[in-house]
Amino acid sequence: MTKTTSISLWVSPVNQIQSQKHLLHHKNIKFQLNQTSRSSKLLSPSFNTLYCTRIPATLSLTSTANHQVTDYNDDICRFCEVGNLQKTMDFIGNSEETILDIKTYCHILQLCADSKALHHGRTIHNLICSRGIELDSVLGSKLVFMYVSCGDVREGRRIFNSIVTHNVFLWNFMMNAYAKMGDYEESVYLFQKMLEMGIEPDSYTFSCILKCFAALGNENIGETIHGYVLKSGFGFDSTVVNSMISLYFKHANIDNARKLFDHLPERDVITWNTMISGYVANSLAKKGFEVFTDMIGSGVTVDLATMVSVVAACASMGVLTLGQTVHAYAVKGEFDKKTKFNNTLLDMYSKCGDMDAALKVFKNMDEKSVVSWTSLIAGYTRKDQSDKAIELFLNMKKKGIKPDTFTVTSILHACASNGSLEKGKEVHNYINENQIQSLAVSNALMDMNLLIKSDEFSLILMMILETSKQKIPTGTQVAMMSQQEEFSELRMRNKSQKSKLQLIKN
DNA sequence: CTAGGGTTAG
């Protein structure tokens, strides 16, 4: 399936953007970015302001003549206000013949959305349909909002397509729904449609779309979209610029991220945090730590996310003393009471080679998550203490904590380096039974197979392919297939490398 | 009624 999307953006004459026409490809989406004339639709005055900008906008009562009807409406609205959905539904059920105001339907649908009551929402939708009420932009938007809030994005989208709305909120809401599902292509597609309709994006639109572009990983689009952000007048909007910085970091464009940061007059906590985590993610932990130092110097109050990123920076640098200092600083701010912080702290000690400290953090934690267990397991695996790692793995299962792909990957490496094939096979069975699949898991399984006799090899490979089929994209499957062919050779190479290592050890 | 940053493997 090929989706061809052409976005016409009027691009501001920012010096970095010079090309007249870009043709950018990503996955199955083709972006055609034209530098079009100034008469572009985007420059026309916003007429979306002429329309309602909020869903529960003021509505005229259509049937004021019948007092009886108005009373029903009032009663239902009162139930809605106190959040009593069941009573509202009962009331409607008992008066099926009653024609209600659109406003009343909106109130009920809002309540359904708030309560995530898809079933009731559908009932109301059916009622609206069976009574032949026409879906205008207001009622339609409310239905879309209800369906998407209740998790039925498909039905929400179906209605969204059937109505004409210039409500930016609803477009943002729809785009965000797809972004949350990981369908960034669809989100971008809606963005393009929205521009075609002449709807002006707001800061929420940009935050969402920048996140999507970051995730899609089309590195050429960064500066183009940046130009568009500037052109639209959001160059100093902190949420948009923060998203922009984040996008540049995700595209490994450190220079542009830094430039934005340097020229931003007002930096909030998130700006600082984005810088620190951005540097760490790009293997520039030292730079990240410097930003942290500047942050404290500028008097900004740090938060949990800051501390998590900074500890991660210490872990990445592997400087134990620095980590200990940050740990002490975090205790003062009582961040050591948060599970997420302790997980990072544990990982830091483990990566700095201090397993005793890591274990101490682990034992002192009130709430241990999968991440806590996995971090410790990974730590022992790195230290070649496979027995301890395997023991922890068994303990965590005993405590009823479900291992995830990260845990399984670690434990497979522990099994591999330990040479304990039996345990490895046990884990493999566990993986199959619990459908824990990822590329890393498959790789770890293959890695472990270096220790397995060659006649078992193809069988296990088949199993890997079998279990991976549903979730791993076709491209990866192809890669794995070719890996299968190359594997014998690869295996020989690794074996000879291993024997070399053995020789050095001896 | 929406948004920007943060944890675990290799």
In tens, the pLDDT along A198-220 reads 999 999 999 999 999 999 888 88
CA→C1' distance for A177 and B3 (Å): 13
What pLDDT is stored for residue A3 in this prediction? 43
Whether residue A97 is contained in a domain is answered as: yes
Consecutive H or E run containing A31: strand A29-35
Distance A310 CA to B5 C1' (A): 12
For A464-473, give one letter per residue: b (16+ CB within 10 A) or e.
Answer: beebbeeebe
Answer whether residue A252 is part of any domain. Answer: no
Mean pLDDT along residues A180-190: 93
Average pLDDT over residues A398-403: 91
CA of A303 to C1' of B5 (A): 10
Residue A183 has pLDDT above 80, yes or no: yes
A74-97 average pLDDT score: 75
Q: Which residue is nearest to nucleotide B4 (CA to C1')?
A: A239
Given pLDDT bands bounded at 50, 70 and 90, which one contains residue A81?
A: confident
Burial class from Cβ neighbours inside 10 Å (0-12, 13-18, 19+) for residue A332 reads: exposed
H helices of A197-336, where? 203-216, 221-231, 238-250, 254-263, 269-281, 285-297, 304-317, 320-332
Task: Out of A33-42, A47-56, A404-413, give the one with best mean pLDDT.
Answer: A404-413
Of A151, A184, A218, which residue constitutes the final position of a domain? Answer: A151
Does residue A345 sit within a domain?
no
User: What average pLDDT does the segment A177-181 reach?
Assistant: 93
Which of A292-306, A414-428, A485-499 tops mean pLDDT?
Answer: A292-306
pTM of the predicted protein model: 0.75
pLDDT at A15 over 80: no
Which nucleotide C1' is nearest A278 CA? Answer: B5
pLDDT tier at A506, thresholds 50, 70, 90: very low
Would you state the pLDDT for residue A66? Answer: 53
Q: Which residue has the least CA–C1' distance to nucleotide B9?
A: A406
pLDDT at A18: 35
Mean per-residue pLDDT for A113-120? 90
CA A315 to C1' B8, in angstroms, rounded, equals 13
Mean pLDDT across A276-303: 94
The phi, psi pair for A24, rounded to 5°, reads -105, 140
The SS3 assignment for A24 reads strand
Among A118, A134, A151, residue at a domain's last position: A151
Distance from CA(A276) to C1'(B4), angstroms, rounded: 14
Residue A298 lies in a domain: no
The band of A436, judged by pLDDT with boundaries at 50, 70 and 90, is: confident
Give the domain CATH number at A402: 1.25.40
Find the mean pLDDT for residues A305-322.
95
pLDDT in tens, A135-170: 888 899 999 999 999 999 999 999 999 999 999 999
Which nt is closest to the CA of A373, judged by C1'?
B8
**Residue A292: Cβ-neighbour burial (10 angstroms; 0-12, 13-18, 19+):** buried
By C-alpha to C1' distance, B2 is nearest to A173
Q: Across residues A260-282, what is the average pLDDT?
A: 94
Among A336, A332, A341, A339, smallest CA distance to A306 is for A341
Q: Which of A35-44, A238-247, A493-502 has the highest mean pLDDT?
A: A238-247
Q: Which nucleotide is nearest to A374 (CA to C1')?
A: B8
Decide: A208 and A187 in contact? Cβ < 8 Å.
Answer: yes
Given this model, what pLDDT does residue A458 score? 56
Measure CA to C1' and name the residue nearest B8.
A371
The residue range of the domain holding A120 is: 47-151
Model confidence over A224-264: pLDDT tens digits? 999 999 999 999 999 999 999 999 999 999 999 999 999 99
**Residue A287 included in any domain:** no
The count of domains in chain A is 2
Q: How far apart are CA A202 and CA A191, in angstroms?
A: 11
CA-to-C1' span, A174 to B2 (A): 10
pLDDT, residue A78, reads 76
Whether A208 maps to a domain, the answer reads: no
Distance A94 CA to B10 C1' (A): 61
DSSP one-letter string for A91-125? HHHHTTT----HHHHHHHHHHHHHTT-HHHHHHHH
| Mean pLDDT value across residues A312-316 | 96
CB A358 within 8 A of CB A379: yes
Distance spanning both ends of chain A, measured CA to CA: 57
pLDDT at A499: 37
Residue A450's SS3 state is helix
- Strand B: positions under 7 A of a protein C-beta atom: 1-10
Average pLDDT of span A49-77: 51
Across the range A115-119, mean pLDDT stands at: 90
Residue nearest to nucleotide B10 (CA to C1'): A440
pLDDT at position A133, please?
86
A193/A14 Cα distance (integer angstroms): 25
> Which token pair is A479?
């890669």
Domain boundary pick from A113, A130, A151: A151
Residue A197, domain member (yes or no): no
Question: What does the pLDDT average to over A479-505?
Answer: 41
Inside any domain, residue A108 = yes
Q: Quick: pLDDT tens for A441-484.
A: 777 777 766 444 454 555 555 655 655 544 444 444 444 444 44
Output the DSSP codes for A368-437. --HHHHHHHHHHHHHTT-HHHHHHHHHHHHHTTPPP-HHHHHHHHHHHHHHT-HHHHHHHHHHHHHHT--
